[in-house]
Amino acid sequence: MAQVMTTNQTGDGLVRAASYASVAIATFLVVIKLMAYLMTHSVAMLASLIDSLLDVAASCVNMVAIRHALVPADKEHRFGHGKAEPLAGLAQSAFIAGSALFLIVESGDRLFNPRIIEHGTVGLAVMVISMVLTIALVIYQRYVIKKSRSIAIRADSLHYLGDILVNLAIIAALSLSMYLDWYIADPLFALGVAGYVLYNAWEIVKVSLDQLMDRELPDEDRTRITGIAMAHPDVRNLHELRTRSSGYTTFIQLHIEMDPEITLVRAHAISDEVEAELHRAFPNSEVIIHEDPLGLEKVT
């Protein structure tokens, strides 16, 4: 049996950098949104402020979890510490769901007690700044996700992507209130934000639970793995393919069947070649391959 684990130091550094960037940007946005809320008293601005406060909390959880997840495997944790990331994802979903419930309560009150938006231009300026910074962060996070497949950064990116829509909604709410005197737009848009936030929370829960429960990789990934293994001219068949993810590490196990007349040295070389191809297709992966002679009766 051959076993090789690739360690992508660049990917690790990108994941850490992305976690620091999200904390820094979220903290800055909290400060400017708090100032804007105190000036405008807009419940939609309050929604954005709460969202950014939770972004800070969630991103801090991410940062700690990522540092723990990147700790190398040890005697007590042979498969590493990657599951710290989906645990962080569950914590984020709890934060996000709590913020949505709070917004629903506040928005309901403001529907029956509408208020004039004060200093709306300040609010609009703050939301534009927020949009620019959030878009830049999401673009950077998508780059990091592509390189590392980090579940924690993906969860962070999901709710920052949602923040872009939140910012657009709040800009619309402020504009309608300021220029058309449609004050009910403020709580209505806040309610819409709350619904979207709840949806994001559920998406994060699903992804996190999939990793914690060792769900198989998507069918397209499993088909790709099978295709890579069977593409080797000396691999006649394969069976017992098992896959899972832990943090941003992908675990792949399979048995490949080869000509029973070849030498053990040649079988080992074939296994290494298949393994190398799988590593190229799935960076940050741990691949375990067992070599079987073709036609061997399988024990059930």
**CA–CA distances in Å: residue 245 to residues 82, 170, 177, 249, 294:** 8, 37, 47, 6, 29
CATH of residue 229: 3.30.70.1350
> Is 225 in the same domain as 207?
no
Per-residue pLDDT at 217? 87
> Is 45 in the same domain as 194?
yes
Alpha-carbon 213 to chain mean position: 17
Q: Is 300 part of any domain?
A: no
Nearest to 274 by CA among 286, 264, 289, 262: 289
Q: Count CB-CB contacts under 10 A for residue 248.
A: 27
Q: How far apart (Å, rounded) are the C-alpha atoms in residues 36 and 30? A: 10
Q: How far apart (Å, rounded) are the C-alpha atoms in residues 141 and 25? A: 13
Burial class of residue 160, CB neighbours in 10 A (0-12, 13-18, 19+): buried
93: left (phi over 0), alpha (psi -120 to 50) or beta: alpha
State the angle between helix axes of 151-180 and 84-112 in degrees (0 to 180), rounded to the nearest 10: 10
Between strands 249-258 and 285-293, the pairing is parallel
Q: Is 55 part of any domain?
A: yes
Per-residue pLDDT at 1? 39
Three-state helix/strand/coil letters over 66-87:
HHHHCCCCCCCCCCCCCCHHHH
Q: How far apart (Å, rounded) are the C-alpha atoms in residues 216 and 218? A: 6
Per-residue pLDDT at 69? 57
> Is 175 in the same domain as 284?
no
| Domain end call among 195, 212, 229 | 212
3-state secondary structure of 214: coil
> Is 38 in the same domain as 140?
yes
Q: Is 251 part of any domain?
A: yes
> Is 141 in the same domain as 201?
yes
Q: Is 298 part of any domain?
A: no
> Is 188 in the same domain as 273?
no
- Quote the domain boundaries for residue 84: 2-212
Q: DSSP label at 150?
A: -
Q: How far apart (Å, rounded) are the C-alpha atoms in residues 120 and 123? A: 5
Per-residue pLDDT at 227? 94
* Residue 157 and residue 140 in contact, taking contact as beta carbons nearer than 8 Å: no
Per-residue pLDDT at 3? 40
Residues with Cβ within 8 Å of residue 274, at least 6 apart in sequence: 228, 229, 232, 235, 256, 289
Mean pLDDT by 10 residues, the chain (300 residues): 43 77 88 88 79 74 64 64 71 77 78 73 88 91 80 73 78 82 79 78 80 82 94 93 80 93 92 93 87 72
Per-residue pLDDT at 73? 63
Nearest to 191 by CA among 33, 34, 44: 44
Q: How many domains does the chain have?
A: 2
| Domain end call among 188, 212, 236 | 212
Per-residue pLDDT at 99? 74
* Residue for token pair 């709350």: 194
Alpha helices in the chain (DSSP H): 9-40, 43-69, 84-112, 120-148, 151-180, 185-212, 219-230, 264-281
